[in-house]
């Protein structure tokens, strides 16, 4: 068998011998904002094709990790498609062109890999006569082997924009046994018989936003040969999953699930999904992607969840993906050392995400199953938008998963309803993020008012400035002046007031004119760049055009600066202690505290947090200088500053440097030296979503206030407990122990009195033969106690069917238990519970000898208990022939 390692090596050395530089695979996360993931070998060379950068070499060859998301839901349906795959490629950057690329490809395929020439078919772009002549005359293929096809298949685009060009593909005929079986089946048929193995792109255009084609500075070559497909052919498999690239992973899936590949089309599909997805997620995580609800994180999450679901379909009970991923790492780690390097991280991320998802998945399935059963009874065929939304929002079902289940059941989805709810949720989330009540920003008004006016922010250097009132707005309307107690929005020519942005709150302060004074309560941006001061006229009157002295509250600003610089230090320290994958996900910089949201797959340990806190404090006490300067974005990239994903930057950017440890793009205000921060303390760390965490912290006076508050609490506690500070803990422990003992006593009293009540009932209870049938409702007993009572009661009988219920805080609970002899007679507690629980608007389940139910309304609880008892009576009567 030709090992895949040999196939890779043969490719690389073939082109190396022809002057190509062997270049390593780039990451799956591309350095290109127009692309979500690396989808082809050419991605890392895009700047060379576009002529933006000059390469040190003009020919390159690679084995590139690639990921295609086109149709994740279709993966598993056939034996050739994969999301993650390896692409072998040779590239020419303005060097050779078609006349060399085509014959080389033919030579490697037929002489290097020794593929049977009679099985190879060629396609070219319809009007590419040049390619036709090379294939026909130079290579010597007869014209009936060369198909001229249209743009859809033979014009390769990197994406909606970017490098592109006509292409020529080599296809391999797998034989009549595969595919549609039609005698006229040929390379244009989509049945799968003809396998595309190599795509030669003649890269000569740059597609523009409007769809037009701009010729590239030079003509280039970009080719891509699918490793898995060539391996399938050379290893005589009609299935990429059986090649040495995937067989080991597939086998691990078989071992974990007990299913055998090749026995049933349903389990085969799931096994293929497990193999493809586990490989893909392992590579994605090792390249730094973390599960999240958007972008690449969402793709990862979707695939991980789809794999988990197919694991369940294969009857795998426990978490299994980390094991499967281990098998990916073992079988591919020698080729991709980053897998071994990040092994622990990959495992942790998978384990955490799978555990979390499995828990909610279970509940989600119950909901969806019940719902599907219900709509089928009603003969409906659409899953409503609110169910899709609930499954997504509460149970973490990716919509695609619901879609897949629905189509298995022959149902469709009300996507419009779902989108509407999603839109509403986004709106809620957005308004939640707003720090101030900025309901109606009269943007249009400001657009008019400020036209032609020179406005500028001078607050980086100055706390106060002599300026002019250029506009006043009251209740969303332009006014010429404002009087006492008027709530107004003010625009100034120059302003020292920082407008809320990038997480930093806006400044407060005062604006004074000759005739009046405005207290500024908030500053925010309108139309992205105008700083609007909102406040109240507290003295006299103010008017448009007046000279004014604008002064921020410098004390508050200093506190904000302390928190902002600390935010950068915290970001730096978290990356150092928890790893480079940590990214800022949001931040709030206020006067009293800072809040920092970041991505990380698990809760940091106490020890890690202490390390982070110490690191930040060390850098504060070191008194590091903080430098802020504006430079070109190009320069910023070269320096490797941290730019926040999703933030907009113009051509120039402001860089904030703390000592030589942190460099971020940031428009905020900062202390000049970290010593001015004083001290730093983390006051909370929590989860705010899957893989998203939040730290709240205080600095400077914020920390002093925090300590004072804590001291106050300690003082009050010690006075309440009547002890000194040092004894608070010991004294509280004693009290809690006492309380627990008392609680226990109370419970045993409650249980005992309930039992006494029941024993009386036992003697007079309904009996059939030697069996006691008891039903009792308590007023307010919680589930655990109800179970103890049930246990005790059962022990007092030899043969019994007991229903115990309670209106626990208005929420009905029911327990049903039967002794073994009754189970033998056909009594099924779980079935009984299922039948009666609708009476209490609830559900439940269990086993044949014991089951429980919970519901929403206790109104018909008595009826439910009685019905349960009667169901048992019926069974017993039938059983005993009565
Ligand atoms: N870019 C082309 C493809 O992905 C050839 O490498 O098919």
Query: Tokens standing for 395?
Result: 């149970």
Q: Identify the weakest region by mean pLDDT among 95-99, 223-227, 484-488, 745-749.
A: 745-749
Query: Tokens standing for 16?
Result: 């190396």
CA angle 597, 598, 604 (to 5 degrees): 110
- Whole-angstrom distance, CA of residue 641 vs CA of residue 859: 64
Distance (Å) from CA 216 to ligand 1 centroid: 17
222, 227, 230, best to mutate for ligand 1 pocket (most atoms within 8 Å of CB): 222
26, 30, 35, 40, best to mutate for ligand 1 pocket (most atoms within 8 Å of CB): 40
Residue 572's CATH number: 3.30.980.10
83 and 60 both lie in a single domain: yes
Question: Are residues 612 and 595 in contact, defined by beta-carbon separation less than 8 angstroms?
Answer: no
Q: State the pLDDT confidence band at 646, using cuts at 50, 70 and 90.
A: very low
Atom of ligand 1 minimally distant from the CA of 200: 5
Kindly provide the b/e burial profile for residues 539-553, where b requires at least 16 CB atoms within 10 angstroms of the residue's own CB: eeebbbebebebbbb
Q: How far is CA 104 from CA 14, 15, 17, 267, in A?
A: 9, 9, 11, 42
Atom of ligand 1 minimally distant from the CA of 224: 6
Distance (Å) from CA 190 to ligand 1 centroid: 19
HEC per residue, 665-686: ECCCCCCCEHHHHCCEEEEEEE
Decide if pLDDT at 649 tops 70: no
Hey, is 869 helix, strand or coil? helix
Residue 852's CATH number: 3.10.310.40
In a domain, 301, yes or no: no
Which pLDDT value is given to residue 430?
44
Decide if pLDDT at 458 tops 80: yes
Distance (Å) from CA 321 to ligand 1 centroid: 31
Decide if pLDDT at 441 tops 60: no
Which ranges of 595-727 would DSSP assign to H, the alpha helix? 606-621, 633-639, 700-721
> Taking the alpha carbons of 45, 47, 48, 54 in that order, is the dihedral positive or negative?
negative
Which pLDDT value is given to residue 435?
28
Q: State the pLDDT confidence band at 622, using cuts at 50, 70 and 90.
A: very high
Q: State the pLDDT confidence band at 388, using cuts at 50, 70 and 90.
A: very high
Atom of ligand 1 minimally distant from the CA of 40: 4
Decide if pLDDT at 442 tops 60: no
547 and 566 both lie in a single domain: no
Select from 707, 724, 744 the last residue of a domain. Answer: 707
Select from 216, 245, 274 the last residue of a domain. Answer: 245
Atom of ligand 1 minimally distant from the CA of 66: 4
The tokens 């006569």 sit on which residue? Answer: 129
Q: Is 705 annotated in some ligand binding site?
A: no
Which pLDDT value is given to residue 494?
93
More confident residue, 222 or 450: 222
104 and 226 both lie in a single domain: yes
Which pLDDT value is given to residue 448?
62
In a domain, 747, yes or no: no
Which pLDDT value is given to residue 427?
62
> Taking the alpha carbons of 191, 193, 199, 204 in that order, is the dihedral positive or negative?
negative
- Whole-angstrom distance, CA of residue 361 vs CA of residue 301: 13
Distance (Å) from CA 295 to ligand 1 centroid: 23
Average pLDDT over residues 549-566: 97
Selection from 18-27, 73-82, 306-315, 397-406 with the highest mean pLDDT: 18-27
62, 123, 223, 225, best to mutate for ligand 1 pocket (most atoms within 8 Å of CB): 223
HEC per residue, 241-252: HHCCCCHHHHHH
Distance (Å) from CA 46 to ligand 1 centroid: 12
Residue 160's CATH number: 3.30.930.10
Which pLDDT value is given to residue 437?
34
Average pLDDT over residues 440-451: 58
Domain extent at residue 493:
443-552
The tokens 């298949």 sit on which residue? Answer: 153
Decide if pLDDT at 653 tops 80: no
123, 198, 199, 200, best to mutate for ligand 1 pocket (most atoms within 8 Å of CB): 199
Residues with CB under 6 A from ligand 1: 40-42, 89, 156, 199, 201, 222-224
- The string of DSSP codes covering 520-543 is EEEEEEETTTEEEEEEEEEEE-EE
Atom of ligand 1 minimally distant from the CA of 39: 4
Hey, is 112 helix, strand or coil? helix
Residue nearest to atom 4 of ligand 1 (CA): 40
Which pLDDT value is given to residue 871?
92
Which pLDDT value is given to residue 428?
54
587 and 534 both lie in a single domain: no
Which pLDDT value is given to residue 429?
46
The tokens 């009754």 sit on which residue? Answer: 822
Q: State the pLDDT confidence band at 450, using cuts at 50, 70 and 90.
A: low
- Whole-angstrom distance, CA of residue 856 vs CA of residue 843: 9
In a domain, 252, yes or no: no
More confident residue, 247 or 882: 247
Distance (Å) from CA 5 to ligand 1 centroid: 21
Q: Phi first, then psi: what are they for 208, rounded to 5°?
A: -90, 170
More confident residue, 456 or 513: 513
Average pLDDT over residues 281-287: 95
Q: Is 670 annotated in some ligand binding site?
A: yes
Atom of ligand 1 minimally distant from the CA of 158: 1
Taking Cα atoms as reference points, which of 776, 758, 764, 773 lies closest to residue 873? 773
Distance (Å) from CA 8 to ligand 1 centroid: 17
Q: Is 666 annotated in some ligand binding site?
A: yes
Distance (Å) from CA 282 to ligand 1 centroid: 23
Decide if pLDDT at 700 tops 70: yes
770 and 865 both lie in a single domain: yes
Which pLDDT value is given to residue 111?
97
In a domain, 780, yes or no: yes
Distance (Å) from CA 42 to ligand 1 centroid: 7
Q: Phi first, then psi: what are they for 817, rounded to 5°?
A: -135, 145
Residue nearest to atom 6 of ligand 1 (CA): 224
156, 159, 229, best to mutate for ligand 1 pocket (most atoms within 8 Å of CB): 156
Q: How far is CA 812 from CA 779, 781, 858, in A?
A: 10, 10, 5
548 and 598 both lie in a single domain: no
Mean pLDDT of the chain: 89
Distance (Å) from CA 322 to ligand 1 centroid: 32
871 and 788 both lie in a single domain: yes
The number of helices, as runs of H, and strands, as runs of E, in the chain is 25, 35
Distance (Å) from CA 283 to ligand 1 centroid: 20
Atom of ligand 1 minimally distant from the CA of 201: 5
Average pLDDT over residues 544-555: 96
In a domain, 357, yes or no: no
Decide if pLDDT at 432 tops 50: no
Distance (Å) from CA 299 to ligand 1 centroid: 21
522 and 571 both lie in a single domain: no
Average pLDDT over residues 240-261: 96
Question: Are residues 796 and 819 in contact, defined by beta-carbon separation less than 8 angstroms?
Answer: no
Question: Given phi > 0 = left and psi -120 to 50 = alpha, else beta, which region is 138?
Answer: alpha
Q: How many CA atoms lie within 13 A of 860 on its CB side?
A: 13
129 and 240 both lie in a single domain: yes
Secondary-structure breakdown of the chain: helix, strand, coil percentages, each rounded to the nearest 5: 45, 25, 30
DSSP letter (8 states) at residue 838 = G
Find the largest Cα–Cα distance for the chain.
104
In a domain, 35, yes or no: yes
- Whole-angstrom distance, CA of residue 617 vs CA of residue 596: 17
Distance (Å) from CA 78 to ligand 1 centroid: 21
Q: State the pLDDT confidence band at 433, using cuts at 50, 70 and 90.
A: very low
Selection from 86-95, 421-430, 465-474, 590-599 with the highest mean pLDDT: 86-95
124 and 62 both lie in a single domain: yes
Atom of ligand 1 minimally distant from the CA of 89: 6
Select from 217, 245, 273 the last residue of a domain. Answer: 245
In a domain, 695, yes or no: yes
Residue 495's CATH number: 2.40.30.130
Residue nearest to atom 1 of ligand 1 (CA): 40
pLDDT one-digit tens code per residue, 40-73 = 999 999 999 988 888 899 999 999 999 998 778 8
- Quote the number of domains for the chain: 4
76 and 125 both lie in a single domain: yes
Distance (Å) from CA 199 to ligand 1 centroid: 6
Query: What is the percentage of the chain residues whose pLDDT exceeds 70?
Result: 94
In a domain, 333, yes or no: no
Decide if pLDDT at 541 tops 50: yes
DSSP letter (8 states) at residue 497 = P
701 and 776 both lie in a single domain: no
Atom of ligand 1 minimally distant from the CA of 41: 6
Distance (Å) from CA 197 to ligand 1 centroid: 11
Distance (Å) from CA 187 to ligand 1 centroid: 19
Q: Is 531 annotated in some ligand binding site?
A: no
Atom of ligand 1 minimally distant from the CA of 42: 1
């Amino acid at each position: 068998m030709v090992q895949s390692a040999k196939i890779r090596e043969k490719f690389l050395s073939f082109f190396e011998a022809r002057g190509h530089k062997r270049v390593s695979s780039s990451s799956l996360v591309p350095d290109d904002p127009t692309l979500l993931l690396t989808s082809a070998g050419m991605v890392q060379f895009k700047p060379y094709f576009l002529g933006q950068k000059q390469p040190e070499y003009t020919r390159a060859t690679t084995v590139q990790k690639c990921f295609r998301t086109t149709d994740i839901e279709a993966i598993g349906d056939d034996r050739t498609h994969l999301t993650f795959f390896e692409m072998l490629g040779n590239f020419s950057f303005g060097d050779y062109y078609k006349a060399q690329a085509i014959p080389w490809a033919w030579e490697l395929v037929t002489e290097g890999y020794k593929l049977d020439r009679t099985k190879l078919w060629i396609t070219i772009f319809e009007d590419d006569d040049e390619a036709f002549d090379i294939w026909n005359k130079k290579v010597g293929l007869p014209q009936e082997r060369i198909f001229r096809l249209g743009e859809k298949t033979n014009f390769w685009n990197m994406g909606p924009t970017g490098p592109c060009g006509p292409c020529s593909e080599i296809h391999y005929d797998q034989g009549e046994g595969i595919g549609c079986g039609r005698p006229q089946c040929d390379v244009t048929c989509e049945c799968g018989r003809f396998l595309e193995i190599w795509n030669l792109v003649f890269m000569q255009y740059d597609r523009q936003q409007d769809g037009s084609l701009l010729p590239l500075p030079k003509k280039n070559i970009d080719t891509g040969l699918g490793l898995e497909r060539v391996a399938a052919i050379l290893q005589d498999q009609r299935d990429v999953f059986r090649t040495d690239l995937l067989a080991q992973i597939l086998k691990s899936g078989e071992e974990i699930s007990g299913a055998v590949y090749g026995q049933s089309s349903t389990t085969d599909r799931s096994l293929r999904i497990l193999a493809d997805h586990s490989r893909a997620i392992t590579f994605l995580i090792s390249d730094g992607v973390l599960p999240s609800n958007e972008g690449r994180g969402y793709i990862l999450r979707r695939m991980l969840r789809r794999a988990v679901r197919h694991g369940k379909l294969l009857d795998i009970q426990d978490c299994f993906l980390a094991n499967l991923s281990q098998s990916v790492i073992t079988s591919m780690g020698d080729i991709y050392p980053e897998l071994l390097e990040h092994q622990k991280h990959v495992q942790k991320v998978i384990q955490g995400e799978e555990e979390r998802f499995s828990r909610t998945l279970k509940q989600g399935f119950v909901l969806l199953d019940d719902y599907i059963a219900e709509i089928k009874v009603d003969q409906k065929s659409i899953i409503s938008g609110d169910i899709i939304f609930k499954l997504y929002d509460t149970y973490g079902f990716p919509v695609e998963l619901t879609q897949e289940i629905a189509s298995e059941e022959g149902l469709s989805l009300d996507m419009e309803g779902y989108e509407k709810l999603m839109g509403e949720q986004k709106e809620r989330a957005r308004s939640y993020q707003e720090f101030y009540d900025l309901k109606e920003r009269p943007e249009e008004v400001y657009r008019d008012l400020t036209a032609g006016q020179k406005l500028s922010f001078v607050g980086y250097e100055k706390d106060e400035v002599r300026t002019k009132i250029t506009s006043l707005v009251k209740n969303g309307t332009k006014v010429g002046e404002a009087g006492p107690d008027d709530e107004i929005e003010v625009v100034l020519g120059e302003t020292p007031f920082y407008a809320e942005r990038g997480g930093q709150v806006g400044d407060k302060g005062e604006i004074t004119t000759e005739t009046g004074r405005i207290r500024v309560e908030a500053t925010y941006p309108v139309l992205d760049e105008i700083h609007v001061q909102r406040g109240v006229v507290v003295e006299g009157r103010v008017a448009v055009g007046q000279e004014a002295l604008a002064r921020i509250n410098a004390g508050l600003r200093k506190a904000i600066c302390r928190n902002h610089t600390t935010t950068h230090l915290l970001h730096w320290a978290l990356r150092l202690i928890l790893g480079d994958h940590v990214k800022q996900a949001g931040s709030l910089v206020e006067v009293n505290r800072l809040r920092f949201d970041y991505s990380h797959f698990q809760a940091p340990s106490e020890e890690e947090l202490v390390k982070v806190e110490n690191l930040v404090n060390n850098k504060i006490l070191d008194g590091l200088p903080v430098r802020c300067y504006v430079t070109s974005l190009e320069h910023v990239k070269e320096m490797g500053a941290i730019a926040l994903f999703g933030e907009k930057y113009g051509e120039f950017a402001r860089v904030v440097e703390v000592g030589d440890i942190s460099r971020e793009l940031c428009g905020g205000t900062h202390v000049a030296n970290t010593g001015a921060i004083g001290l730093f303390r983390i006051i909370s760390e929590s989860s705010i979503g899957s893989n998203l965490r939040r730290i709240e912290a205080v600095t400077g006076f914020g920390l002093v206030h925090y300590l004072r508050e804590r001291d106050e609490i300690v003082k009050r506690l010690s006075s309440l407990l009547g002890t000194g500070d040092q004894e608070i803990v010991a004294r509280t422990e004693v009290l809690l122990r006492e309380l627990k003992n008392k609680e226990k006593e109370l419970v045993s009293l409650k249980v005992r009195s309930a039992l006494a009540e029941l024993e009386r009932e036992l003697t007079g209870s309904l009996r059939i033969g030697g069996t006691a049938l008891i039903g009792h409702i308590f007023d307010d007993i919680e589930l655990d106690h109800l179970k103890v009572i049930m246990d005790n009661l059962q022990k007092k009988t030899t043969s019994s069917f007991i229903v115990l219920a309670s209106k626990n805080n208005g929420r009905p609970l029911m327990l049903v238990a039967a002794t073994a002899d009754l189970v033998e007679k056909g009594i099924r507690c779980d079935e009984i519970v299922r039948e009666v629980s609708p009476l209490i608007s609830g559900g439940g389940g269990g086993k044949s000898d014991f089951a429980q139910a919970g519901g929403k309304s206790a109104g018909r609880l008595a009826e439910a208990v009685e019905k349960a008892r009667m169901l048992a009576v019926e069974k017993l009567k039938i059983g005993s022939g009565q």
